[in-house]
Amino acid sequence: SQQSDQQLSESPLSPFRGVDLSPALHPLNKTLVKGGKWKDVDNAQEKRRSFLHDFCKKYNSRKKLRTHLVHLVSRIYVEDRHKVLYCEVPKAGCSNWKRVLMVLNGLAASAHNISHDDVHYGKHLRKLDSYDLKGIYTRLNTYTKTIFVRDPMERLVSAFRDKFEHPNSYYHPVFGKAIIKKYRHNANEEALKTGSGVKFKEFIQYLLDSHRPIGMDIHWEQVSKLCYPCLINYDFIGKFETLEEDANYFLQLVGAPAELKFPKFKDRHSSDERTSAEVVRQYLKELSKEERQLTFNFYYLDYLMFNYTSP
C-alpha cells in the first residue's frame, strides 16, 4: 500500500535511513598497503566487489526487505581503533577473525593464546547493534566493512560435522532431540533422550522443512540473511578458500601492526580432515537428487552473490 510505504520512508527509524544503499562502489583506500606482493589478491578483491555490486543492482532486494536496521547489523563486530566492521559468518574463519579483532583492539597481545571459549563466550568484542542509532550510522558510513564467506555446501557440511558429529551440550539436546523426534520414524529411547547421532539426511530434512520443529541457527543460516550484503555495502569480500592471503591483505589495508598475521590453525577438532569438496561429495551421496537440488536452492542467493559454482 502506498500510504504505509510513505510512512516507512519518513519514519526516523526507517531501516534504510543512512545505510549506504547508493549504487556507488567506494574505492578501497590502499594507501597503507606496503610492497608489491598483493597485486593478485587485490585484483581478485576488485572482481568480487564489482561482481557483488552488479548482482545487487540487478537483484535490488530493497523493496522486499522490511527488516529493522538494528537487526541488519546484529552479526557485525566492531573494532574501533582501526575502524573495522566484521560481519560474522560461522564456519568461514570466524573464530580466528575474532581473535584478530581482539588483538587489534588491544584486548590480547597475540592471536595464538586465546582459547575457543574465550573467543566465543568472553564478552570482549562489541557488536554494532549495541550502539545507538547515530553510533551505528556513523560506523556503517565511515568504517571499513568486511565479510568472509565460504562455498555454501562446504560451510553447511562443516557446520553439521562440528555440531552433530562431536559431543555438544547445546546442539544435541536442543537441535538433535527435535530433529530425531520429527524425522526418525523408529527412533530408540536413547536417541530421543540424548539427541545424539543425527544423520546428515535428517539434518537436511530439518533444514528444508518450512515447519521446522526448531528454528534456524547462525551456523547454517544463509549469508544473505546474516550479513545482508545487498543492503550493507561491504568494502572487502574475503573467501575461506583464500582465507590467509585475503585476511593478511585486509590487515594491511586497515593499518594493522606489521607483526599481526592471520592465524593458520584450525580452531577445533584439529585432527579432523578439513571439510573439502571431496568430503562434501561423500555427505551429499546420502541425499536424494531432489534433496540435493532443494539444498542448493536454499543457498541459491549465496551462490549467486559470491560467484560460487553450483555443485
Q: Which three cell numbers stand for residue 166?
A: 562431536
pLDDT of residue 157: 98
Residue 66: band (very low, low, confident or very high) from pLDDT cuts 50, 70, 90: low
- Tally of domains within the chain: 1
Question: Which cell is 119 given?
Answer: 573467543
Query: Mean pLDDT over residues 71-93, rounded?
Result: 96
**Is 263 a domain residue?**
yes
pLDDT at 267 over 80: no
Domain-located, residue 209: no
Q: What is the pTM of this model?
A: 0.89
| Cα–Cα distance measured from residue 260 to residue 114, given in angstroms and rounded to the nearest whole number | 14
Span 291-300, average pLDDT: 97
Tell me the Ramachandran region of residue 269: left when phi exceeds 0, alpha when psi lies from -120 to 50, beta otherwise: left
**What are phi and psi for residue 126, nearest 5 degrees?**
-90, 150
Three-state DSSP state, 45:
helix
For residue 201, the model assigns a pLDDT of 98
The residue with greater pLDDT, 55 or 60, is: 55
Domain that holds residue 138: 38-154+219-276+301-306
- CA neighbours within 13 Å on the CB side: how many for 289? 0
C-alpha dist (Å) from residue 40 to 46, 201, 262: 10, 40, 18
Residue 2: pLDDT over 60? no
Residue 1 has pLDDT above 60, yes or no: no
What is the number of other CB atoms lying within 10 angstroms of the CB of residue 294? 14
Q: What is the mean pLDDT of residues 94-112?
A: 91
Confidence of residue 109 (pLDDT cuts 50, 70, 90): confident
- pLDDT for 279 beyond 50: yes
> Distance (Å, rounded) from C-alpha 206 to C-alpha 218?
15
Determine, yes or no, domain membership for 3.
no
| Residue 101 scores a pLDDT above 60 | yes
On whether residue 140 sits in a domain, the answer given is yes
Question: β-strands 126-127, 76-79: how paired?
Answer: antiparallel
CA distance 305 to 302: 5
Question: What are the grid coordinates assigned to 30, written together?
Answer: 590502499
Residue 45 domain-assigned (yes or no): yes
12 pLDDT above the threshold of 70: no
